[in-house]
Structure 1
Amino acid sequence: MISPTSAAAAYGRARPEISPADTLPQGVTNAATDFARALEQVDLTATGAMAGMTDTHDLVHSIAQAEIALETVVAVRDKVVEAYQEILRMPV
């Protein structure tokens, strides 16, 4: 069984993986930074809600923003994969 301490430690180890790399184009880096910021805001708001310090309305609002950010990232990823597959289908 996973303890809360081991889950928190695993989350801490995985957290740097969503930070943007320095070798990406500026637009991609900005988008990744904005996405990471949206997820970080949800984390802070959810933690505050669990502690009774944040209003439920703020929690729902931040979750909705994170959902929109995730849907955007997924749409961009799908377009990149589609473009890659199109390149693979090109005759050489």
Structure 2
Amino acid sequence: MALDPMNAAAAYRNAAVGQPLGLAPGTAPTPIGGEEAGPGSRFVDMVRTAAQDAIDANRNAEQLGMDAVAGKASVQEVVTAVSEAEATLQTVVAVRDRIISAYQEILRMPI
């Protein structure tokens, strides 16, 4: 498959303005198999959901910490929530590191 520099530049420009693959805003690309992408099946949606889950876990841990100071939650609940938030954060950091590594590998590929 030959790469056309003009097409690559156009794809880069479209991605920079939020229109990957030259699609109109809000249009999902059609998968290779030909099926239309359903709601939540896109990679961006998966990443957004994972980030929201991490934020929710941290907020829950903070809220339980404040509840414990006020005497409304046990130390066990706080420790469990903080451990879950820490595990979620470690997962997010590991995924971020893998994405950066993959991006750097793509940059090193000869054209």
TM-score above 0.5: yes
Aligned with 1:81 (options 100, 105, 110): 100
Deviation at 1:53, TM superposition (A): 1.1
Deviation at 1:29, TM superposition (A): 1.0
Counterpart check, 1:72 vs 2:91: yes
Deviation at 1:52, TM superposition (A): 1.4
Structure 1: unaligned runs, 5 residues or longer: 1-22
More helix, by proportion: 1
Structure 2: unaligned runs, 5 residues or longer: 1-25, 27-42
Identity %: 40
Counterpart check, 1:57 vs 2:104: no
Q: Which amino acid aligns with 1:75?
A: A
Counterpart check, 1:31 vs 2:50: yes
Aligned with 2:60 (options 17, 37, 41): 41
Q: After superposition, give the CA deviation of every residue in 1:49-72 in whole Å (9 maximum; x if it has no partner).
A: 111111000000001100110110
The aligned length equals: 70
Larger Rg: 2
Let me know the Cα RMSD of the aligned residues. Answer: 1.5
C-alpha distance in 1 between matches for 2:44 and 2:100:
18
Q: Which amino acid aligns with 2:70?
A: A
Does the residue aligned with 2:80 lie in a helix, a strand or coil?
A: helix
